[in-house]
Amino acid sequence: MNPIANTPIFLGLTGDEDRATTKAIALRSVSLAFLLITIFAVSGKLIFDLFGITLYALRITGGILVFLIGFNMLQGSTNHDSTKKAATSDAQQNASLSIAVSPLAMPILAGPGTIATAMNFATTGGISEVIITIISFGVLCAITYFLFISGERLVKALGPSVLSVITKMMGLILAVIGTQMLIEGIHEAISILGKVT
C-alpha cells in the first residue's frame, strides 16, 4: 500500500468525475481497503483455510484483474466507461462508485502483498501485534485518502491533455504491476506445488 504511487492511478481512474463523486470514490475505496486489511489481520488464516484459498491464487487473480484495467487505460478508457455510457443518473453514479471496490480497494490498495504483510505482522505475536498492524494500516489509509482528494488540484494545474498522458502512463504501469503479480503468483504456485509433489 503506497499512497504516493497509488495517487496517479486514482487520478487516471477518476479523471472524468466531479469533485463530489471523486471524494465518494476515495472515501469508499480507503474504507473498504481498511476493512479488508482489518479482517485479514484478525482472521486471515481462518478465512483462507475455510474457503481453501491460497495466497498465490489470490496473487494470480489480482494480477489478471490489474493487467486488464491497465490495458483498458492504455486504450484510453477505463473499465467503467462502457457501463457509464449505458447508465442514467443514479445508476451512472453507482457505476462510477463501483471502481472504489475494484480495482481501487482490491487489488490496488488491499492487494495480495498488503494482505500477506498484514497477516504476517498480526500473527507474529499476541493481541498487541494485531492492534499495531491495524493502527499502522489505518494511518496509511488516512494518508492515501488525503492524497486522493488533493489530486484534483494537480489535475487543474496539469490540464486534460497532460492528464490523458498520465492516465496512459499509469495504464502501462498497472499492466506491468499486473503482469508482475501474475508471474510471482505462478512462480509461488509452482514452488509450493513442486514441494508437495
What average pLDDT is seen over the chain? 81
Query: Does pLDDT of 188 surpass 50?
Result: yes
pLDDT at 25: 93
- Tell me: the pLDDT tens digits for 28-83? 999 999 999 999 888 877 887 888 888 788 788 878 888 887 888 788 655 444 44
At 176, which amino acid appears?
V
Query: Does pLDDT of 175 surpass 80?
Result: yes
Q: Against a cut of 0.75, is the pTM above it?
A: no
- Tell me: the pLDDT tens digits for 130-144? 898 899 999 999 999
Domain layout of the chain by residue ranges: 3-196
DSSP character at residue 76: T
pLDDT at 85: 47
User: Measured between alpha carbons, how far is 56 from 142 in angstroms, rounded to an integer?
Assistant: 28
Cell representation of residue 180: 508482475
pLDDT at 57: 84
In the chain, what percentage of residues exceed pLDDT 90? 19
What confidence tier does 89 reach under pLDDT thresholds 50, 70, 90? low
pLDDT at 79: 46
Q: Where are the alpha helices (DSSP H) in 52-126?
A: 55-74, 81-86, 89-99, 112-122
In the block, residue with C-alpha cell 466507461 = 81
